[in-house]
Every structure is written in C-alpha cells, then in structure tokens.
Amino acid sequence: MTNRRTLVAANWKMNGSIEGSRVLAEALIDGISAETPAEVAVCPSFVYLSQLSEQFKNTSIKLGAQNVSHLDEGAYTGEVAASMLVDFGCEYVIVGHSERRMHYHETDSCVAEKFSATQINGMTPILCIGELLEERESNSTEEVIARQLDAVIDKATINAFDNAVIAYEPVWAIGTGKTATPEQAQDVHQFIRLRLARHDRAIADGIRVLYGGSVKADNASQLFEMADIDGGLIGGASLVAKDFLDICHAVRK
Ligand code: PEP
C-alpha cells in the first residue's frame, strides 16, 4: 500500500488583516510540532505572503497561494506570476478553486494552464475539482469530475500529477455547513484515483486527494479515516486557530 502523507491546507480566502494574520500564524506555530501527524500548509491572501514567509521560516508549516497567473510576466495589471510566489517561499498554489471558476469565469483550460505555470516554477498545484448541487442531483458528478481532471491531464500530461495534489470540493459543501458524508466523499475520491489509474497506476496510488467542504474539528476524523481521503482543504475553520489545529491533529498517523 502506498504511504501518502496526510496534508491539511488552510485557505484563508480574502480574510484577515496584517495583525490578525500575524496572530493566527503565531498560534499555528505554537500548535504544530514534530508530533503533528499531518503536513500543514497555509494559503493566505497574496498581500500577507511576505509577513507569513518570515513567520514560518524555520517551522514545518508550508506556505501556499490561493491563485496564480497562467502567464510568466508582462503587461497584465493586477496579476501575480508563479515566479513571484517562489520569491516568497510558496510551495503550494491552489488552482481552480470553485470560487475562481464561478466568480472569475476560469475555464478548465485556464485552470490547466495555471496548473502548469505552478509546476514549471517548481511549486505543487492543489487542483480543486468538484460538482455543483444541480450536477450532483442530476447524477453528473462523475462526468464533471472526469471533465475537470481530463482537461489538466490533456494539457499537462499524466506525469505532471507526480507532483500535484487534488482537492475534491463539492461546491454545495463549500462554506455551507453541509459536509459530504465520508462515504459520498470516498466514492468520488476513489473515482478520481481510478480515472488517473487509466493513465498511470503508480501516479494514481501516490497522489494525495484532499477533501474540502465544511470540514470541522468534529467531522474531520471520520473523513480522514476513509481509504482514499488524504487530508483536507479547509476554509472557514482555518480562520480559528483552535479549530484548525484540532483538524490537523484529527488525521490518521
Ligand atoms: C474552501 O474554501 O476550499 C473550503 C473548503 O471552504 P469551507 O471549509 O469553509 O467549506
């Protein structure tokens, strides 16, 4: 059996302040130790990366970004290139979050380009995929997941998934308090792995597939116990230090 290290990643979204981020990061530094069973990453807003890269220096907490440009450089006002994120010590980049797909009209092919830009610059993409409520209700979940995954496989090739993380985030569960049941999540995680295995069995076995969508301290351990769930992408609960730390400590050893 492949030994996949559990990853718990915080998506702070557009929240916080300089002082609030500093205090939250300090609390995480105090609460994460060599005994913490999960690898822990924090993805703040771009503007706090500088401060957090200083705070996380010499700790085991990894830094990530919530978005990246698919372009390298140039006249693209307001965009942030992957090479700039590397300058701040980012190791992870969330790509294709449903909020970006929904509010900023990111298409599957745009997400695939961001995935590649992240990797070309030596960072690990956390590729978010997931279905809308109406897609689940019309039994199209697998079709949607396959389409979102195939767009990236087609552009980046299956080999690129050797250095990637996937986050299955059913859109109906994000920020709604409605978590997928462990069984619902496990079914989709298994489907994701099987889809990748059609191309490369070893990559499918080795990749970490996180669950995201209203994960809280009291439901994390049941989710993380499932065979194909390798951690979580945490939004709301990552803004409260105790809640996030409890989730980090809820993972199987
Ligand atoms: C997310 O933003 O990726 C997320 C899963 O949010 P929440 O935990 O608040 O549902």
> DSSP labels for 58-100?
TSS-EEEES---SS-SSS-TT---HHHHHHTTEEEEEES-HHH
Tokens of 27: 């609390």
What pLDDT does residue 252 have? 64
Q: How many CB atoms lie within 10 A of CB 85?
A: 25
Cβ of 61: how many Cβ atoms within 10 Å?
20
Indicate if 199 belongs to the active site: no
In the reported structure, the alpha carbon of residue 34 is separated from the centroid of ligand 1 by a whole-number distance in angstroms of: 26
What integer pLDDT is reported at residue 185 of this predicted model?
98
Residue stretches of the chain with pLDDT short of 50: none
Residues in the chain: 253
- Catalytic residue among 97, 106, 131, 189, which? 97
pLDDT given for residue 251 in this prediction: 83
**Quick one: which of 21, 151, 25 has its CA closest to 96?**
151
- pLDDT number for residue 177: 87
Tokens of 29: 């530094």
Q: Is 104 exposed, middle or buried (0-12, 13-18, 19+ CB in 10 A)?
A: exposed
Give the pLDDT score at 34: 86
Question: What pTM value is reported for the model?
Answer: 0.97
Respond yes or no: is residue 169 known to be catalytic.
yes
Q: Which of 169, 216, 223, 248 to mutate to test the pocket of ligand 1 (most atoms within 8 A of CB)?
A: 169
